Amino acid sequence: MATGLPTEMDSNSPSKPEATGKPSGSRRHVPSSTQGMSTSSVHAGEQRQKPGDSITDPIFCASTFTFQSTADLLEYVEGRSEREEYGRYGNPNEKSVEGKLAALDGAESAIVYSSGMAAIVGLLMAKLNAGDEIVFFDQCYHRSREFCAKHLARFGVVTRQVPTGDFAAMEAAINPATKMLVSESPTNPHLTTVDLEQFAAVGKAHEVETLIDATLATPYNIRPIEYGVDYVLHSATKYMGGHNDLLAGVICGSAEKLESVRSLRGILGGVNSPHNLYLLERGLKTFELRMQRHNENGQRIAEFLEAHPRVARVYYPGLPSHPSHATAVAQMRGFGGLITFEVANADWKETSKIVDAAQLPRIAPSLGGVESLIEQPLVMSYFNYSAAERKVFGIADNMIRYSCGIENSDDLIADLEQALKA
């Protein structure tokens, strides 16, 4: 008895894949320019047909990759085939993740690192030489500042800090030795948004490359490359991974500009394990959904805090009271899940009582994961700084940083309501 497809279909059956020696469908998905963010984060960078016919990427636990023969090796070293060679230079899991990250930022290329700090160090070490200078806006992640001011200095690179958003001061600090302008947007922890159009324009006018650390914004809320910024950096530990379960970093930009950065990464060695890359790939699939909730929670909680009598001041780009609100509204789709606020008439001890009274957020550094986090910068990141230094960096004793997770905002607000009674 005949079963299966009618025989007349045989003539229409797809032709056999060409004998390339590669499995069919090994081409990686490259999104079209009109493709939505979730479509990109689900499919970009992945092969349609994967080893074992698995729908998800297998975790390639391989430190090295084998060649069938000397002829096979020659084909690779002579640039006639694309494949993996050794784990420090690349891995199939890394290809998938880099394809997604580039697509999300609208970039030609992305390089993934073992942490956000490894990414910033990797880029600056690749681009700067002794005698070069960089200019950066002063509100920034404290370890980035420390790397530039303390460590780049050891290699003869001069760093100049200017007040965040002060473009006149930035231009005044630029001289023929200046090679890079660096800023975060929004900044951590003051959530100041920098006008990216102006930032990129200053770079172009002086022929200096520009770098934006957009960790707090993510490509859901802003895509700096569309404004002409050369390099975008994210600590993927935060929203991109999104589950408080991994560390990673990424630099996005043009393939040409990133070529030297990629080859230095192969030497510095700040790469991810295949397991870590798989976690990041999985986290990225729900990126847009999570960001929508983070933005919603951030806005609602910021508005709740601003209206509360125990709160003296709230830093959140989505509030009209934030000095850079107009820039944020003009350039951002949403304002993220990070909120910094100051408790009214409270010293550091009274402030810490509120941190301790909160039941839902966990006390920890970091941000951007599904679990809400709370911390007092004085006791957390800035404990080893003097009172005078904290004053310079704008870290007040009564400051609390709240990173909204994806919990339901009614529950987070009810919890904050009771905590603010402490």
The site for ligand PLP (CB under 6 A) is made up of 115-117, 141, 144, 184, 188, 213, 215-216, 235, 237-238, 247, 249
Q: Closest separation between CB of residue 59 and ligand PLP, Å? A: 21
CB of 114 to ligand PLP, least distance (A): 8
Task: Identify which of residues 237 and 340 has a Cβ nearer to ligand PLP in the complex.
Answer: 237
Residue number, 151 or 308, with CB nearest to ligand PLP = 151
Q: Could you tell me the two tokens for 3?
A: 């079963």
Residue nearest to ligand PLP according to CB distances in the complex: 116
Positive or negative, the Cα torsion across 361, 409, 115, 215?
negative
Nearer to ligand PLP, 91 or 187 (CB): 187
Residues 6 or more apart in contact with residue 219 via CB below 8 angstroms: 37, 104, 105, 106, 232, 234
Considering the complex, state which of residue 115 and residue 398 has its C-beta at the smaller distance from ligand PLP. 115
User: What is the amino acid identity at position 420?
Assistant: L
133 forms bridges with which residues in the sheet? 158, 178
Q: Nearer Cβ to ligand PLP, position 109 or 114?
A: 114
Dihedral sign, Cα of residue 65, residue 70, residue 71, residue 77: positive
The three-point CA angle 50-272-228 to 5° equals 90
Q: Which of 96, 115, 145 is nearest to 270 (CA)?
A: 115
Whether the CB-CB separation of 110 and 101 falls below 8 Å is answered with: yes
Instruction: Judge whether 95 and 45 are in contact, CB under 8 Å.
Output: yes
Residues 182 and 179: their CA atoms lie apart, in Å, by: 10
State the Cα–Cα distance between residues 134 and 180, nearest whole angstrom: 5
Residue 103 in contact with residue 31, Cβ under 8 Å? yes
C-beta closer to ligand PLP: residue 319 or 338: 338
Q: How far is the CB of 287 from ligand PLP (least distance, A)?
A: 16
Q: Which is nearer to ligand PLP, 134 or 346 (CB)?
A: 134
Minimal distance, residue 288 CB to ligand PLP, in Å: 20
Closest distance between ligand PLP and the C-beta of residue 215, in Å? 4
Judged on CB neighbours under 10 Å (0-12, 13-18, 19+), 327 is buried
CB of 116 to ligand PLP, least distance (A): 2
CB of 305 to ligand PLP, least distance (A): 21
Cβ at position 197, least distance to ligand PLP in Å: 21
Which DSSP letter does residue 421 get? T
